[in-house]
Structure 1
Amino acid sequence: MTAGDLDTTFGTSGTTTVNFGRTSIANALAIQSNDKLVLAGRVGDASTGDWGIARLKKDGALDPSFGSSGLVTIPFTAQEDVARAVAIDSSGNIVVGGFVGSEPAGAIAFARLTSSGALDTTFNPTGSVPGTVTYRIDPTLGNAVRALVIDSSGKILGAGIGGANPGLIRLNSNGSLDTTFAGGAGKEAVAIGASGHLFALALLSSGKFLVAGFDATGTTTQDDFLLAQFTSTGSLDTTFGTGSGGGFTDTDFNSLNDLAFAIGLQSTGKIVIGGDTDSTDAFGLGGDVKAGWARYTTSGALDTTFGTSGKTQINPTSLADGVRGIVIDSSDRIVTAGFIGEASAISSFLDPVAGSFGVYRLTSSGAPDTSFGAAGGGWVRTTFANGGDGGRAVGLQSSGNIVVVGGATTGTPAQLNFAAARYLS
C-alpha cells in the first residue's frame, strides 16, 4: 500500500457518505480525542438550507449515540443558513459557527452542542433559543464566521466578514460578547489592505492570531493571497508583514487572481497558507486554476526557502484544482484537502458540480511529496460515483491517517451528500 491510498478499513472501501434526506455538504471537520469525526455544513438547497452536523465513529460509520442516529439539524431561518466552522472545547462540547439568513445580508451565528448532540442550554441560556446565538457586525450587509478557534480559557474567536470588510468576533464561553476584545465591543469590522476577505484562522501561543484570505491589490484590483496578524485584543499587529501600514502581507503568484482559504503552522512557527491560484477573474471562474501554497516567516515575510521563491503550485488538470483545508503532520509535511477538475473554483465553495476530492501533500520545504499518491506527483484524486465531488476540510486521526470531508454526488436520482474519505499516511 502507498501513502495516499484509500484506507479500506474506513467506511466502504475508504469512503462514506451521509444522507440527511436532502442535498447537503460538509464544510468543516473536527476530530475528537477518541478519533470520532464531527462534520458540519449545510443541509438543504443553497437558498433555504439549515445547519447540519453529523458524527462518525472512528471507522466512518454514523455514530448512533449522537443526535438522531448520528445527525443533527439546526433550522435558524427560512433562508440560507450555513455552518462553516466547527471545534471541540475542553469539555468535549461541539462549537459550530457560520451564518444565518443568507450570506449577502445575514448574521453571524454560533451553536454549542453537548457531546451527545443536544443544544447546550448553558450557552446563551437566556436567548430565544438557548444553545445558539446570533450577532451582527454590520446592520444591513452580510455577516459570517468562516473559521473559528477556541482558546485555553474557553473563549471562542471567529473570523469572516462584517459587511464590506473582514469581520472578527470573540465570545466568552457562555456565548456573550467578550468586552476585552475589539475595544470593548467584542466584534469589529477591520480594514486590511484594499478590501480583504477572510476564510482561515490560526491561534498563536502568545495569544496573537493569524488570518488568511485574499485582498484586492494593484490598479486592476487583482486578488492576491492575504495573511494578517492581530494582537490578542483584536488590533492589527503592525510589527508583522510587509503591507502598507503593517499587519499584513499580500502575495501574487503569476499576475492573476489568487485566493487563500486555509492556514497551517509548522513546528518552526513558519506559516503556510493555501488556496486557488491563477484565476483569470476575481471569483475563480476562469482559466487554469491551480492549487497553490505560500510560506511565511514568523514576521510575515515570504519565506524564499519554501518551494520556488516562497510558493508552490500543483496543477493536475486544465480545469480548477484548489485548496480548502490544511493540516501539518508530525513530520511538518503539509497535508491539504480540496478539489481536482472542478468547473470553477471559488463558486464551488458551496456546491461542487463536476470535480473530485483532491488531496495534496507537500514536503516540509514545499516540494510536492513524491511518496504520496500512486502517480508520485504529491496528489490523489477520488471520485465517489457521479462526479460533482469536492473536499472542504482535512484532519489527522491519532494513527496519522488523513481524513477529508466535503460533498459527494451519489445515488439515483443523484444527490449531493456529506462525504468523507480516509487515506493512508
Structure 2
Amino acid sequence: MVRPHVVVVISTSAVVLSLLSQLVACSGDDPVVSAGPDGGDDTRGGPDTTGGGGDASSPDATGDTPDSTAPAGGVIDPTFSGTKDVRAYYYRAPVTDRNRRVYLLGEHPHCIPTGLTDVVLARLDAQGAVDPTFGTNSRVCLNTYADAPTGDFFEVPGAMAIDASDHLYVAGSSLDNRTPSTGTRVFLARLSLDGQLDTSFGAGKGFVRFADVAEGHASSIVIVGQGIWLAGRAKNGGGMLIALDLNGALVKTFNTNVGLVVDPNVDSFSSVAVKEGNPYVTITGGAKAGDFFVRKYLPTGTVDSAFGNGGTATVAVSPGFDEARSVSVTSDGHVVVAGAGQAPSAGQPGRLAVVRLDSKGAVDPAFPTFLSGAVQWPTSADARAFLQSDGKLVAPAVVPSGRDLAVVRIGTDGKLDPTYGKAGTVASGSPKDDVTVAIGVDTSGGTIAIADDGDTVEEQFPQQKVTLKRPVVYRISP
C-alpha cells in the first residue's frame, strides 16, 4: 500500500522572488439539488486528528532520551524545492492530487485588477516547482462575481478539497460592495485541476453563493461520497454547518428542508468531520469557550442527544484556556480532537493538545489526553491536524525555541511517535523564525507543510502598493 506524504508551507525571500513573478488567472461557482451527503470517513479535504497521552516537557512525551538512529519517518524531502515564489497575504491548508501536485490557496489584493481582496490559487509540481501551466501566469484569481466583472468585491478564502473525480473545490466568503449591495455570502466554487471554472457547476457560472446564510464564511470543507460539508461562522457569530450535493445544491433532507444549521450561541464551528452520514464539528467561542467542545449531528440535521451531554462533548484539557481546532473520526468510530491547550485566551499560542473520545463522546481511557510542553499549537486560523489511515495523527506545531516550523505525529497510544522525526517531531532547523501556517496530507502518504519565515515582497498595483508574504513549502515522508 502506498503511504501518504505530508506537505508543509513556509515563507522565504530570494528564491521566492524568481518564481513568484510567474503567478495569475480567474474563476467562480453556484448550487443544484440532489441526494444527501453519504456516510464514510472524511478522507479528502477535511481535517483529521488523533491525539496522545501524557505531558511532554521534552520533545519525547515518554521522557525517554531519543536514540541517534535514523527515524523511519518524518524526513524532509531534499528533492522537493523548499523555496517558492508564491505571493499572498496568507495561506490555507494545501491539498494534493493523485499526481502529487500541490495546490496552494491564499488571499491576494488586486489579483483581479478591479477587485479589492481576491482568492488566489497556485500549483506546485511533484518536485515543488511553480507550475506555469496552471491558470494564467501560474496563478488563478477566483472571481465569484462573474455577472459583474468590473464590480467592487472583497473575497476571502476558507478551505479547499479535491473530489474523487478530480474536481477542485474552493470555499470561503465574498462581499459585494455594489449599490445595492447583496452583502457577504458563503461561496463554493468548482474548478478543473488546470484552474478553469467548471461551468457544469452552479448554473453555468462554476460557483454558487448562498443567500441562506447572511454574512457567513466557510472555513472547513469535507467531501464524503456524494456529499460536501461546509463549516464555519454565520453573521455576528454563530456556528454554521451546510450540507450540499456534488453540484453545490443544499441537501434539503438535512434539517427539515433547510440544508444547513446555525447555532447562534457559539462563535463558530472551526472544523467538520463526517462518519456514516453523521457530521461532527468543533465549537469555538460564544457560550462554548475555554474547553474542547465537539458536537455530533445526525444525518437529519438534529443534534444527537446520545453523544456527550445532550449532543456536545466537553473536555477540559488543561487548567487554562483550551480551544479545539480540528476533529477527525477513526475507522472504528473514535473521535479525535486537536487544538491549543492552556492558552492565555482565544486565538493565542497554547500547548499542543489532543484528546480521543469514544462513540458516545466520553474520553477514551486507552488514549491519555496529550498536552505537550515542547511544542505549541500554531495561531493560524487554518491550523489543522490530519488522521492517517493507520490511525496516527499528524499535527502542525511550533517549537518555542527559535519558533521553528514543526510537524508532530502522535501514535494510537496517545504518545509522540518515536519512529517519526526526532522523538515524534520534525522541525525545519531554519535559522529564521519560520512559524507553521498550515499542513496538508500528500496523496503518497506524507505531509505538505507551509511555513512563514517572514519573507515579504512589495508589489505596485494601480490602487496602491502592497506587501505580500512568500511561504516556504516542505514535503515530509510518512
The TM-score normalised by the length of structure 1 is 0.80
Change over 3 Å in CA distance of 1:185–1:25 after alignment to 2: same
Residue in structure 1 matching 2:221, options 131, 136, 148 = 148
8 A Cα contact 2:339 2:377, kept in partner:
no
Q: Where does residue 442 of structure 2 map in the other structure?
A: 396
1:195 aligns with 2:266: yes
- What secondary structure sits across from 2:256 in the alignment? helix
Change over 3 Å in CA distance of 1:5–1:95 after alignment to 2: same
8 A Cα contact 2:174 2:185, kept in partner:
yes
8 A Cα contact 2:252 2:259, kept in partner:
yes
8 A Cα contact 1:137 1:162, kept in partner:
no
Q: Where does 1:12-411 land on structure 2 (aligned, <5 Å)? A: 15-20=82-87, 23-44=88-109, 48-76=116-144, 78=152, 80-101=154-175, 106-125=184-203, 130-139=205-214, 142-153=215-226, 155-163=227-235, 164-190=237-263, 195=266, 197-204=268-275, 206-214=276-284, 222-241=289-308, 243=309, 246-284=310-348, 289-307=350-368, 311-316=369-374, 324-341=383-400, 355-374=403-422, 376=423, 378-382=424-428, 386-387=432-433, 389-398=435-444, 400-405=445-450, 407-410=452-455
8 A Cα contact 2:456 2:470, kept in partner:
no
Deviation for aligned residue 1:189: 0.8
Change over 3 Å in CA distance of 1:57–1:236 after alignment to 2: same
Deviation for aligned residue 1:29: 2.1
Deviation for aligned residue 1:185: 1.8
- What secondary structure sits across from 1:183 in the alignment? coil
Partners of 1:325 and 1:38 in 2: CA distance: 16
Query: 1:258-300: per-residue Cα shift (whole Å, max 9, x none)?
Result: 1111123333321211111111223326xxx211111111221
Larger gyration radius, structure 1 or structure 2 = 2
Change over 3 Å in CA distance of 1:383–1:122 after alignment to 2: farther
Query: 1:359-410: per-residue Cα shift (whole Å, max 9, x none)?
Result: 1111111101233233x2x223326675353232321331x32222354432
Instruction: Give the length in aligned residue pairs.
Output: 381
Q: Of the two structures, which has the highest relative contact order with CA contacts closer than 8 Å and spacing of 6 or more?
A: 2
Change over 3 Å in CA distance of 1:234–1:320 after alignment to 2: closer
Change over 3 Å in CA distance of 1:322–1:362 after alignment to 2: farther
Runs of 4 or more, structure 1, over 6 Å off, are: none
Higher mean Cα deviation, 385-394 or 156-165? Answer: 385-394
Change over 3 Å in CA distance of 1:96–1:418 after alignment to 2: farther
Deviation for aligned residue 1:237: 1.4
Partners of 2:93 and 2:141 in 1: CA distance: 15
Percent identity at matched positions? 23
Change over 3 Å in CA distance of 1:123–1:419 after alignment to 2: farther
Partners of 1:34 and 1:283 in 2: CA distance: 35
Q: 1:364 is matched by which residue type in structure 2?
A: T
Query: 1:191-230: per-residue Cα shift (whole Å, max 9, x none)?
Result: 5xx52531111121x211111233556xxx7421111111
Q: Where does residue 350 of structure 1 map in the other structure?
A: none
The TM-score normalised by the length of structure 2 is 0.72
Deviation for aligned residue 1:107: 2.1
8 A Cα contact 1:356 1:382, kept in partner:
yes
Change over 3 Å in CA distance of 1:80–1:422 after alignment to 2: same
Deviation for aligned residue 1:355: 4.2
Partners of 1:37 and 1:8 in 2: CA distance: 16
Q: Where does residue 349 of structure 1 map in the other structure?
A: none
Gaps spanning 5+ residues in structure 2: where?
Answer: 1-69, 145-150, 177-182, 459-466
